[in-house]
Amino acid sequence: MKIKKGDQVEVIAGKDRGKRGEVLRVFPHLEKVVVAGANIMKRHIKPTNTTKGERVEKEAPIHVSNVMLVCKETDKPTRVAFVVKDGEKTRISKRSGKAI
């Protein structure tokens, strides 16, 4: 995948369009990512003998096509290309042309 854990991304589609956040988890087999502060869902937890019932807010996965990597040079969303140099595969920002 072109997006990895720890990358800064911007949501480009959906209810959270325009929000930026760090990628917390990546699910390559599902082609989804979890972005901090985006796609917040409420989960209800049943009360037990020891804990109270409550509503917990947590981030849900977003399809990778709905997020774009943010270029560190230009601070704008960019597409990603792969280049092989000296047998090492690196990610390149299409906007600035520099390694990510």
Phi-psi region of 51 (alpha: psi -120 to 50; beta: other; left: phi over 0): beta
CA 75 to CA 48: how far, in whole Å? 47
CA 29 to CA 74: how far, in whole Å? 31
CATH class of 8-70: mainly beta
Confidence class for position 85, pLDDT limits 50, 70, 90 = confident
Q: What is the distance of C-alpha 75 from the center of its chain?
A: 16
Higher pLDDT, 63 or 85: 63
Q: What is the pLDDT of residues 4-60, one digit of tens each?
A: 999 999 999 999 999 999 999 999 999 999 999 999 999 999 999 999 999 999 999
Whole-prediction pTM: 0.85
**What's the token pair of residue 36?**
């901090």
